[in-house]
Amino acid sequence: MPRTLTIPLRLAALLLAGALAWAGEPVVVVGADSRVEKLTRDEVINLFMGRQKRLPGGVLAVPLQQAQPETVRARFYQLLVDKDLAEINTYWARLFFSGQAQPPELAGSAKDLLKRVARTPGAVAIIDGDAVDHRVRVVFMFGK
């Protein structure tokens, strides 16, 4: 095989292997043009539990969640803070009604969420790893 073809094939294989690493699992993404390269587990907890309002670099964070299927959010919070959705909803109700914080916004489908993340400065979102495309960058995945 000509050398000029092996480099693109190797690159494609690496990209595919990276995509498979998060397939079927919830991941956290930002827009492809965001300056955020990576988030730590603590940063993700703080962003999605209302304790941190800004992304690294100072941009106001806009946390978003995929509304459907609900299993994406359920798995995310179970892995992140070992809480089920009922516990998370109770947590957010308490913070919301006391005026302390608002829960991450819900976007309908993965397609809607990707569009919103791509066009919203500071957007950071929970999404099923299977839905990730070129408009976003994965900045946190479990076990990595």
The domains of the chain are located at 3-141
CATH architecture of 3-141: 3-Layer(aba) Sandwich (3.40)
pTM: 0.81
Query: Mean pLDDT by 10-residue block, N- to C-terminus, for the chain (144 residues)?
Result: 55 48 80 95 96 94 88 92 94 91 90 95 94 95 78
pLDDT, position 16: 47
DSSP assignment string, the chain: --HHHHHHHHHHHHHHHHHHHHTTSEEEEEETT-S-----HHHHHHHHTTS--B-TTSPBPEEEEE-SSHHHHHHHHHHHHS--HHHHHHHHHHHHHTTS--PPEEESSHHHHHHHHHHSTTEEEEEEGGG--TTEEEEEETT-
pLDDT, position 18: 47
